[in-house]
Amino acid sequence: MAASSLLRSLTRRGCAGPGAFAYRHQQQQPWSPFSTTAAAAAAGTRDEAAKGFPGLGPTAKGEKARVVVLGTGWAGSRLMKDLDTKGYDVVCVAPRNHMVFTPLLASTCVGTLEFRSVAEPVVRIQPAVSKSPGSYFLLARCTGVDPDGHTIDCETVTDGEKDSLEPWKFKVAYDKLVFACGAEASTFGIHGVTDHAIFLREVHHAQEIRRRLLLNLMLSDVPGISEEEKRRLLHCVVVGGGPTGVEFSGELSDFIIRDVKQRYSHVKDYIHVTLIEANEILSSFDVRLRQYATNQLIKSGVRLVKGIVKDVQPNKIILDNGEEVPYGLLVWSTGVGASPFVKSLPFPKSPGGRIGVNEWLRVPSVQDVYAIGDCSGFLESTGKEVLPALAQVAERQGKYLASLLSHIMKAGGGHANSETEADLGRPFVYKHLGSMATVGRYKALVDLRQSKESRGISLAGFVSWFIWRSAYLTRVVSWRNRFYVAINWLTTLLFGRDISRI
């Protein structure tokens, strides 16, 4: 029932069903993934529809070329925002219909910001997906790609539905395909991480952290809870000393000092935070800033532990030295790596398993395929290092590729297999603008060096915190969300954080 409803919806919006595929076939050259004759096309598409494979057919001559973007992260969102929709139709395929402003995600876990403040809907980033006849947003995952046929296989996302729906499968033909599907959290194959730890990469992760934290606070107040169990419930462990782990630890310690000790006075002496890192926290920052962050975290009550997690169990983790660390909340923030989907793609890979690209962010082994963001990396043959998985890298790659695709379209290469050997212009060059991180208590770090070895401005303290907030407020995508963020900050300052468990 749901599948047929979706098919009717796709057909109404131009996503061809069997009849439409047959009609398109009569109007243009055959589409090889289905058939080579009009009769075979009609029969073939009937079979495909029976198997759950309708979809968006190839663009016809005289129509706008279609750019298919896989993902709504920093790279994909910036690409869609800047893409020239007068020359291209854009189809976004992604399992979420919004972009997450990740630098402020940690603030939502403790109620400093509301969740909607860091989520930007795709239709606001690129209005064409809801207004233009040939542009769409499809809530789905890409499951496979046929570079020769210029098609991708997709299936709908129904996760979280009370009455779970069967995924609906379909195809999308593309003229240009852009992989911007990001990466996944690295677990290093450690047992129990995916079952018991919470990552901090999506809004639903922040929601789960907030619910778990507030639940443990309330449970610890229940009569009959032992001292040992109370300490375990209120022990928050963060694994990973990068910017995300440090910022979350700082926000959490600030939440404990300013809110928990006032509103949960019965358990204020039991709650504490432990940050576990194998090496040094904030290893990419200047050494002086690292030391400042260490001192501030310790002053805020965060316990810093140098060690490697060997095993994660339901109520405790085991370190390499045999120490057992009980926890009530475990947040895992140890960096990212290539996803199984990216690893399975039939393209050359860069070091680390990412999709290999050349200096123009193209996948050189196939026509009309590009990759940007955390899922991509320069091939060794380019002589360039793989860029770090940072928001500013992804955003700038999206901006560059939008400009490149506009140049290709104006040169007459917008449609599939029509790119010429014309000059593509300057290759992509990344220039690091610096790094920032907050450590709580109105303190932050600003490191404006272009690399570890270079010299530059490094600031710490309240001024840095003001710069951090100002910079990110201006980087929030829409004026609507900037207003939300500013109001949330003001509300928190005047009335404290919201501790409702919703």
pLDDT tens string 47-59:
443 343 467 899 9
Strand partners, 156: 140
Nearest one of 149, 153, 147, 151 to 168, comparing CA atoms: 153
Among the CATH numbers 2.40.37.10, 3.30.70.260, 3.50.50.100, 3.40.50.300, which is that of 198-337+433-495? 3.50.50.100
Per-residue pLDDT averaged across 210-222, rounded? Answer: 92
Alpha-carbon torsion 292, 295, 299, 303, what sign? positive
Whole-number CA gyration radius for the chain: 25
C-alpha 450/C-alpha 431 separation (Å) is: 7
**Count of C-beta atoms within a 10 Å radius of residue 4:** 9
pLDDT at 44: 42
Cα torsion through 420, 423, 424, 427, rounded to 10:
140
Whether 198-337+433-495 and 55-183+338-411 are alike in CATH topology: the answer is yes
What is the Cα–Cα distance from 150 to 389, expressed in whole angstroms? 28
Q: Which of 40-54, 101-115, 473-487 has the weakest average pLDDT?
A: 40-54
Select from 3.40.1410.10, 3.40.50.970, 3.50.50.100, 3.40.50.261 the CATH code of 55-183+338-411. 3.50.50.100
- Indicate left, alpha or beta for 192 from its phi (over 0: left) and psi (-120 to 50: alpha): left
Predicted pLDDT at 162: 56
The predicted model scores a pTM of 0.86
DSSP state of 479: H
Domain boundaries, the chain: 55-183+338-411, 198-337+433-495
pLDDT, tens only, 11-36: 434 443 333 333 333 333 333 333 33
Residue of 26, 14, 25 whose CA lies nearest to 66: 14
The amino acid at 465 = W
Say how far apart CA 477 and CA 181 lie, in whole Å: 19
Beta bridge partners of 458: 447
- Give yes or no for a contact between 379 and 364, defined as CB atoms under 8 angstroms apart: yes
At 320-334, the pLDDT tens digits run 999 999 999 999 999
Query: If DSSP codes are grouped into helix, strand and coil, which group holds residue 274?
Result: strand
Taking the C-alpha atoms of residue 492 and residue 469, their distance in angstroms, rounded to an integer, is 14
Q: What are the pLDDT digits (tens) for 36-47?
A: 333 333 334 334
- Is 180's pLDDT higher than 90? yes
pLDDT in tens, 231-284: 999 999 999 999 999 999 999 999 998 888 888 888 888 999 999 999 999 998
* Confidence band for 165, pLDDT divided at 50, 70 and 90: confident
Query: How far is the C-alpha of 41 from the C-alpha of 43, rounded, in Å?
Result: 5
pLDDT digits (tens, 9 = 90+) for 385-431: 989 999 999 999 999 999 999 999 998 888 988 877 667 889 999 99
